[in-house]
A and B are shown apart, each in its own frame.
Chain A
Amino acid sequence: MTSRRSHDSGLLSRRRFLQALGLAGIGSGICAPSLFSSEPSLLFATAFEEITANISGINWTHVSGRSPMAHLPETVGAGCAFLDYDNDGWMDIYLVNSGPCDFYEPSAPLRNALYHNNRNGSFTDVTQPAGVPGNAYGMGVAVGDYDGDGFPDLYVTQYPNSILYHNNGDGTFTDVTAKAGIAAPGWATSAVWFDYDNDGRLDLFVCRFVDYSKTKLKFCGDLITGERHYCIPSIYDPMPCWLFHNNGDGTFTDVSTVSGIAQSRAKAWGAVAADLNNDGRMDLYVTNDTLPNFLFANRGKGRFEEIGVLSGVGVSSFGKPRSGMGVDAADYDQDGWIDLFEANVDQEMYSLYHNEKDGGFTDAANPNGIGVATRLMSGWGLKFLDYDNDGDIDLLLCNGHPDDTVEKRIEGVKFREPMLLFRNTGKGFENVSLQSGSIFSKPLAARGLALGDFDNDGAVDLLVSQNNGSPILLRNLAGRENHWLGIRLVGTKANMDAIGAKVTYQAGGLQRHKFKVGGGSYLSSHDPRVVLGLGQRTKIDWLEVEWPQPSGRKERFTDLPIGRYITIVEGQGKWK
């Protein structure tokens, strides 16, 4: 025993201390790319090209209202969305801004922005005629056709009350929050439209962050100079999230308590709705900051059971809560079970939770190189997407530390951080950020991320919102190099937006499937269409849509085109 301990004991205390420090990097230094034997088949010098404001016409800027008081909402917003509000087949853009509230009185009026797609790469600000400016301190946006009239509606989360804008179908919206009963008082963050009770109507889940107001502000900072920095939210009290049941008459019922959702007090930033156990019911994964994340398993009859910790997605592998922020869900390894992704704050690494098909998840971030790449990052908007249309689901992460003074306090951590792109090689993920264009070297205070094909070329583009800065519109050049088919799904018995649908397709030797999840990312909402990547294959043999409950209908289609978008309406047995 003595001899084998000899190299670790018996010398100086200082050395022991130094040894311990010297060992502190083993995990972080391990590089995953060596795990992958295959080289990427296709890499792009510029996978995403930034469309500048003078071309896009998007001159709107987010104003955080950064104050010496360092109110926490100032640093976490805001979100963005792609939506086709006028149903012309082209993705428009919605951007959320700050606004007046008890802790902030803007020196000049602030407003959200709705930009109409001019179909030529430029956009026109139509906020004023559309009537969607927001009216408080804006956070995020969730788009969903809650009344099934064929026009997408907007739910804008805010502090201290949120707004439901009903789409009138004529380019204008009406604030129907009071009638709908979904103001969700408090500090709302991300929101998700999904049909939790399988009645064919979209219900609404709203994340709530801490119990916050001007009078509840706490001091975090330098006690001597009085200089404040943004607090770690552990010092604020958690609050329950909201779940609203859609009554089908333009009103909603608050079912937060009866559903079991409100039993778990949250500090929630992100949420995604997906059927994680393949039981035909949509579950919810909710990321919390300094509390365990929630996995609300939908047990039917309107009840949810919170099983986050025991399913392996609640805390770190060392049993401690992290700062869960951005989130998404997709079956990245095509085993038929939806996996999860969670972004955290610096030093915590992000997690790629592989669904083990038995109610449990295993964190696969380290073997996929995601752990080491995100060690110093803080992640917000993120999304699984097949950016290169090769049929494999890749991963895009937007980053930025929440505290703008962090660089003074923590070495190696930056307030502005670059985005990360992980390509799915079929054997795992590979960090291809540095090979994919200059945008992946650009430091950003990124928050929201929305996916949408704004130029209808089949390559899914990106919209990144920045805290206290201009949004960034990125055109996808990589996806153009492969073939594709885009689908707009319209539910009839199932919910209109077909949230929860599964699309399976075969193209030669390639068989893939995609689940249409609700929400995902952070404070943001996405193009509702599904793009199927074919690689270099020029023909799609068949496509099957499994509609969500209460339909559950399966429809198979053949003789399909490629390189364009089609619409499939549930039950019609044909595409157009």
Chain B
Amino acid sequence: MTASANPLRAGLRLARVAEPSILVIFGGTGDLTTHKLMPAIYDLARQRLLPAAFGVVGIGRADLSDAEYRAQARDAVAHNSRSRPIDEEVWRSFSERLFYVSVRSEDGYDDLRRRLAQFDAQLGTAGGRLFYLATPPAAYAPIVRALGRHDVARNGDGWARIVVEKPFGRDLESARALTHTVHEVFREDELFRIDHYLGKETVQNILVLRFANAIFEPIWSRQYVDHVQITVAESVGVDDRAEYYDSAGAMRDVVQNHLLQLLTLVAMEPPASFEAEAVRDEKVKVLRAMRPIGRDEIEARTVRGQYDAGYIEGATVQGYRQLREIAPESRTETFVALKLFVDNWRWEGIPFYLRTGKRMPKRATEIAIQFRAVPHHLFSAEAREGLDPNTLVLRIQPEEGISLRFGAKVPVQGIRIRSVAMDFVYGASFLVDAPDAYETLVVDALRGDGTLFTRQDEVEEQWKLVDPILAAWRESDGEAPRYPAGTWGPTEADLFIGRDGRRWRQP
């Protein structure tokens, strides 16, 4: 039975209800659990968004008692929850449903199966189980196989789902292999690949802006759009996860998932409904329509970079190769710029410029739709000195909002035109209220709603686009151009867009 069969649910504004279940976290003592997951689950409890029958089981290798695990989790929540200080009474009640199971060997899974059955009986959770893989990627496949082998995944009629953190594979082949392994135990509709960008309120707002307003969609095409710029800039380096980053690089870390997600949301056709399959079908169509970047186009359509020492907000920072964990000859890219085309009716010939980098001057994520200039200029060149073409900017961070730039007459005798920005800022009170992406995604997974998760074909199409670029870079002799920390990437990136007679925005 589903929660919708509850007659009292009708009309409650809280339409999104998680079903009675146990959430099992592999990597229960790891960084992601400490920084994101546990605080998000506690915040859900605090907002009364967890089901009446619910439990959380942390899994790790360490030998911990429930009490010790609860104490660790409490620290994690106290430091990382978005609502501080911790609400002691809520925590106490919540932590009574928080358990720890140590799994170090095959036998550990048998023990886990018994403990889960016991929790089901004790908490009345009816066998709904959500497994969350918050471990290093190397552990994904062994865990899934063991869940299958030891019959842990399913409990009778209860549902079973699994959440897999990014990166989902490191290329097309490994992504397919991982999907294949997971499918041995879970169906595709039970597999939730997380890209936490999709949990962000403003990212979801892209769809609302486009499809709940009648005025934008008619001009959302090659007839009116000159080009699109998507930027994910970070001012931080790679300090806390240098080892992983050096094996991944900006392409796998940001482009393959976050940047391509943003691009598909901007470029997709209107889905017939806001349902998981309808939305994801349209997103996949965009990915399939993307013009691949062949070996001969690497120079013209890609730029990579690696940061050197420099300054961030006045402080000296080390260069990438100077970091202790990084080999001095590392060729890993910390900056990527791409010029992509979506070869379909709507977007033929319109470039999508994507860029991301570490150690940029500021943290900023934005999508800018740059419209064409007017076809014929009535006003003198002098009068339109301060006029830029219309731009619609969707800002995702830091200050979430939407801004539209248009020309207006300066109130003087005669005509002088200046660009003005009409800003919509999600107010401070909105920001406080906005749920963390992980809260949204955990509830969605508990409800079985996959709209904001990446489907198999989607992740494969992403890799199909990214793989050849990585291969070409790998095989080329050249090194990634360097850029000083605290700048907007290497000079090559400016030349790259400059060749098309355009320039990067300053977010």
Tell whether A pairs with B: no
